[in-house]
Amino acid sequence: MTDDKHSTCWINMTSGATKSIGPPIRHFVFDVFSHFAKRGYIVDFDRHSAGDLDFLVQFYKETGINTTIVIHTASALWTFNLLCELLSYLQLFASDLPLKVVCEVEASTEITLANFPYAIQRRLKLEIFHTAKPAELLPDLFNVYFFDPHPGTIWLGPNVLYLLSKWYYSRSQTVELFLDAVQYSYMCHYYDNPLSLINTQSKRDIRAAFKSTHYQYLRSVPTFADRTNNIETDDKVLQSALDAQNHVITYFEDMQDTILIYREFMSLFVSDYSKEDLLTAIADLMSGKMRFRLIKALEELSSLDPALIKAKIMEFGNLAEFPKELRSAIDRIKNINTDELLTNKSEAQAELRKSKKAKLAQKESAAKLQNAATKWKEALASFEVRLVNMLKPINAIQFYELYVFDDYQLISSALNPEFRARIDDALLLPQRYLGHLTLESLAYQVCKEEPAESLLQYWYASFLSRYRELHADSALESISPDGDKDNNDNSDRPVDQLVLSKFYYAIAVLRLMGLIDLHQARRITGQSIAGKETVRRVLWPGL
């Protein structure tokens, strides 16, 4: 979005997050926004909802800070109607504010500049650019994270707002110090970018980071609420937050060896690669293909000169303290005397030329070499199994990352039993202690074979309930989950349609993920829903 990547900080706001905080906390979040916005950073809406836009409008009204809204549309789910409804909402409520709206459009869709109403373009000063498919954007993304590391993602979701609230009530630190803590924790936060820790240079760097005051802050957050006398303390909320933090702490302690081993292992095989090759390898990891790349690399390794392999493994083994199982595999490789094997092979060949029993000696020599090759394969197989097992947690977490990137084909391939066992912590923890049922947790619940229809109805009712808290007089109160309306003059407001579109969006996601079929989707939405033709185009664009 900008030529100067160092001046860009993506501030993502998850749907529903800002609706859960009270006015005092909201003003404190304004301070956070202002800290970045005044420095020319970008506010990026990766999730869109009316509540989030209300929050942004209020922010601009109170601060007057001019910055940019980025609307990501690199997904087939962003139909022309959905996008126009969002832009109509901005036009209605934010057209007089100093906003710059940039619209990213996937090149493969039919959404072009000519399709947008002129009034929206003129009033919002809308800028539109085309991008490639989401999968083709991964190299650029990782180029920033790996070769130009920068605290570039701050995710103001429910979990961070929870920390904000405790910090706000303590009033023991300044906004700037808090921002340092957030920047650190979210450079290393597995909800956003689990691979960002690879930017660290050594295990000592990682351990030093975990001993820092920022890391200790994550452990001590619940104590802020305990020391606060002017708010009610919910034991379940605090315990859930503490469990979530402990999970993050445990996760990163477990990940230290994995990250370092992955770095050094890759260095054995990509030392002569270009940056593009390395980025391809990282993109493969994101799409769950890393296991095959590891196997291929190990096969190539086993075909090399044994002495060269041993030299590389010796170099690899001295770089870090490895877990017990991996050390054992490396030790077995080190114990194979390849020099002696090669020497014996040469001497045996000389003897074979002289010996009358050349045939028998050749068989014995071949047996020795075969035995050595078997040991190599066993050691390398043990090495591969250990490494692949350590990378499995990353695969599970990528389910969330891929969801954020809107690459639903990769999501579909990631939905298999191997990953589902870990999805609950990766998806549900941020919502558990705030009671928000988002699309992510909805997908998780459906994975557990709970009825998709009842969950969608609950999600829809929950969304309307939260929205009514902000708009008590809204016509949404007259809209039922089946789409029936009473006679209300405000029923055609764009914001109402935006809420309904959000519901349709959830159903479309579940359809693309293969979790509900066409019949279930139609039964959920109801055949009598208002704007049926619009719904049909949103849910079933191919029909």
The number of beta carbons lying within 10 Å of the beta carbon of residue 80 is 17
Distances (CA, A) of 415 to 77, 115, 359, 371, 409: 19, 35, 56, 41, 10
The pLDDT, as a whole number, for residue 89 is 54
**Cα within 13 Å of Cα(319), Cβ side:** 20
Is 408 a member of any domain? no
N residues, the chain = 543
Instruction: Answer whether residue 262 is part of any domain.
Output: no
Sheet holding 153-155, edge to edge: 127-131, 99-106, 67-73, 43-45, 10-12, 153-155
Beta bridge partners of 11: 43, 154
Domain membership flag for residue 212: no
The verdict on pTM exceeding 0.85 is no
Q: Is residue 253 assigned to a domain?
A: no
Q: How many other C-beta atoms lie within 10 A of the C-beta of residue 389?
A: 11
- What is the C-alpha separation between 80 and 111, in angstroms, rounded? 6
Q: How many CB atoms lie within 10 A of CB 313?
A: 20
> Could you tell me if 30 and 139 lie in one domain?
yes
What's the pLDDT score for residue 519? 61
Say yes or no: 472 and 424 in one domain.
Answer: yes
- Number of structural domains found in the chain: 3
The domain boundary, picked from 197, 226, 246, lies at 197
**In this predicted structure, what is the pLDDT of residue 505?**
46
Q: Does one domain contain both 21 and 125?
A: yes
Cα separation, 533 vs 516, in Å, equals: 21
Q: Are 88 and 120 in contact (CB under 8 A)?
A: yes
Do residues 201 and 220 lie in contact, with contact meaning Cβ atoms separated by under 8 Å? no
Instruction: Please give the Cα distance from 272 to 204 (Å, whole number).
Output: 26
Helix residue ranges per DSSP H, 450-517: 452-470, 494-512
Residue 412 to residue 401: CA distance in whole angstroms: 13
Whether residues 69 and 142 share a domain: the answer is yes
Question: CA 379 to CA 125: how far, in whole Å?
Answer: 62
Instruction: Return the structure tokens found at 354.
Output: 């002289």
Strand partners of residue 68? 100
**In the prediction, which pLDDT does 63 show?**
65
Evaluate whether residue 131 is within a structural domain.
yes
From CA 22, how far away is CA 32, in angstroms rounded? 15
Sequence letter at residue 324: K
Asked if residue 282 lies in contact with residue 220, where contact means CB atoms within 8 angstroms, the answer is: no
Coil, strand, or helix at residue 73? strand
How would you classify the pairing of strands 67-73 and 99-106?
parallel
Q: What is the DSSP letter of 147?
A: I
Specify whether 40 is located in the same domain as 74.
yes
How far apart are the C-alpha atoms of 74 and 102, rounded to whole Å? Answer: 13
Rounded alpha-carbon distances, angstroms, from residue 431 to 16, 182, 385, 509: 10, 19, 34, 19
Scanning the structure block, which residue is given the tokens 């708009």? 471
- Is 368 in the same domain as 482? no
pLDDT at 79: 47
Those residues of the chain that have pLDDT short of 50 are: 1-26, 28, 41-52, 72-79, 107-111, 132-306, 309-310, 312-327, 329-330, 332-334, 336-338, 341, 376, 379-380, 383-502, 504-505, 508-514, 526-543
Is residue 374 domain-shared with residue 509, that is, in the same domain? Answer: no
Domain boundary among 401, 428, 457: 401
Radius of gyration, alpha carbons of the chain: 28
35-to-54, 294, 397 alpha-carbon distances in Å: 20, 43, 30
Q: How far apart (Å, rounded) are the C-alpha atoms in residues 67 and 36?
A: 10
Q: Show the domain range for 384.
A: 291-401
Q: What is the pLDDT of residue 215?
A: 41
CA 505 from centroid of its chain's CA atoms: 20
Burial of 250 (0-12, 13-18, 19+ CB in 10 A): exposed
> Does one domain contain both 138 and 181?
yes
Q: Under 8 Å CB-to-CB from 259, ≥6 apart: which residues?
A: 197, 198, 200, 206
Q: Are residues 19 and 150 in the same domain?
A: yes
pLDDT of residue 96: 53
- Report the alpha-carbon distance of residue 91 to residue 362 in Å, rounded: 84
CA distance 366 to 105: 62
**Residue 431 and residue 371 share a domain:** no
Do 383 and 424 lie in one domain? The reply is no
Tokens found for residue 5 = 């990547």
Nearest to 10 by CA among 97, 66, 70: 70
Final residue of a structural domain among 373, 401, 429: 401
Q: Is 322 helix (H, G, I), strand (E, B) or coil?
A: coil
- Residue 285 maps to a domain: no
Does any domain span residue 225? no
Residues 486 and 533 in one domain: yes
- Determine how many CB atoms are found less than 10 A away from the CB of residue 129: 11
- Cβ-proximal residues to 154 (8 Å cutoff; 6+ apart), any chain: 9, 10, 11, 12, 36, 160, 182, 183, 186
- Mapped onto helix, strand or coil, the DSSP state of residue 98 is coil
In a domain, 407, yes or no: no
Please name the residues in contact with 180: beta carbons below 8 A apart, sequence gap of 6 or more: 214
